[in-house]
Structure formats: structure tokens, C-alpha cells
Amino acid sequence: MNPISSPILSQLYLPMIDSNKHKSQTSEIGIIRNKAGLNTPVVDYVAVEAPLQIEINDKSVSITMRTPGDDNALSLGFLFTEGLIVDYNAIAAVHQKDENTINIIPEDGFEISPKSMERNFYSTSSCGVCGKTSVDAITAKSKYMPVKKPIKLADKMLFTLHEKLLAVQSAFEMTGGLHACALFSREGRYVFHSEDVGRHNALDKLIGHSLMAGRLPLSEHILLLSGRASFELVQKAAMAGIPVILAVGAPSSLAIDLAKENQQTLIGFLKKTGYNIYSGEALS
């Protein structure tokens, strides 16, 4: 399957045609809000969480709890970051069997190896490696690592990125319950973002869009995470060739170890006035 071409792609944006992209990410509910001891019935919005079964040739590969929308991108991004597919040309078709099932049809001659199929798992919205059957199954190797060409970053540019992400997080603004990740150019220009109840799902959606658009590797881009930087997020970024990872929250020890091994720049606790550098070269 050929990458989708668009004049906008030349400007580094990644819009994709996804039949389920506009499913509601939020749900309206009635709650009781207590303020200063006074209970008041109000309408509130919560992030939607629902299961998605990802299949290859009608065989289930994974079930993940996600926020509906961008299911095609999520499915393809998951298969890529898990090392089950290596590029978009391996895919003949993506079928939505029902609102919670995506079936991937590989091109003729492309098969998933038995070893790869052992990486199947059920994933909660908070864990992308839960259920793996061995330590070896946790790590997928990226052909884009270690980083070949580090990106120099300027403080003035870094301090603007979180506000740029918040400006496009419409579902988060309504619910406060979604994780987000955003892609920026090396100069700090906003490119694309994804949101989901699962931080790993949000990144799979972003990488899935990049895969379908023929933009991998993302070696000239910066990734911003709205929360903490875990091992699985650093690994998924590595699979896509992303050299710089910024997190609003803290990184884990294993995330730091992997970033150092990959020679990725890893920054945590990014604020308007400062940050911590955990891996990577000195910034400009």
C-alpha cells in the first residue's frame, strides 16, 4: 500500500484519511459537584475508554483499551512499534469489522513470524507491555537507532512547546483525562498530535499516521509527551527514529537507560523556565 500523498505533507503536517477518526473522544454525564460543602447537579465530560481488538487476517493480535478514533492509525502504529511490520508497503488493506475491531490484511507473501506472534498481549490503557510472556518480548529493536545525527535544541524554543500542545488538546481541555503526544520540527513548529486515555496508544496513533504518510524515520523531529516518560514510550519513539523526547513529567530509570543506549536526548519536567536533561548531548 502506497503512502497517502498530499501537498500538506510537504509542509510536515500529517493529515490522514481515517474513517473512524471523528468518533467521540468524550462522553457527557450527569454528576454531583461539591463546592464549599454545597452539592450541585451539573453536566460534566469524561474521556471515553473502550476496547479495540487488532487482528491480522482475522486472527487477534492484541486487545487494547483506548479512546475511540484514529483506530486505523493506532492499529498500524502498534504493529510497527511492536516490530510486527516494517513498513506500510506490507499492508494491503485495513478493514473496520465493527466499532471495536480492526482487521489488517497484509500484502500477498507477507507473513507474521511465529516468534513475532508470541508478542501478543492484552493491554490496559495505562500499560503497553503488560502480559508479555518474557523479558526478551519487551524489547523491539529499531533499525534507526542509535541516533546518527543529534539535534541541537535552544532553551527559548523548548519553553514554548508545552503551551503549543495545550492549545490543540481540545479533548483534554474538556475532560482533563487524556494523555497527549505531539510532534514538532527541530525548529519547534507544531506538526501533529494525538490524544488517548493510554499514553502508549496516543504515541502509536501519532506513529501510525507518520507510517501511513511515508514520513518515517522521524529523525528531524521532536516528541513531546504530556506526562511521564516510560520505557515503552522511549522504545516506541526509537522504533520511529525520533532523536529527541521531551516529557512534562518524570522519566523512569529504564527509560533513561534505553535513551542513553540509543543516544537519544531525553528531557523531563519540562516547564516554561527549566527542565532536566537525563540523556543526550548538551543543548545550545
Kindly list the catalytic residues: 127
Q: Amino acid identity, residue 242?
A: I
| Angle in degrees, CA 14, 20, 22, rounded to 5 | 75
Strands 121-123 and 59-66: parallel
Kindly tell me the burial class for residue 34, based on how many C-beta atoms sit within 10 Å of its own C-beta (0-12, 13-18, 19 or more): exposed
Integer Cα distance of 89 and 157 in angstroms: 36
What is the spatial distance between Cα 193 and Cα 61, in angstroms, rounded to a whole number? 26
Is 158 in contact with 235 (CB distance < 8 Å)? no
Element (H, E) at 207: helix 199-212
Q: Residue 177 class from Cβ within 10 Å (0-12 exposed, 13-18 middle, 19+ buried)?
A: middle
Contacting residues for 273 by C-beta, under 8 A, at least 6 apart? 159
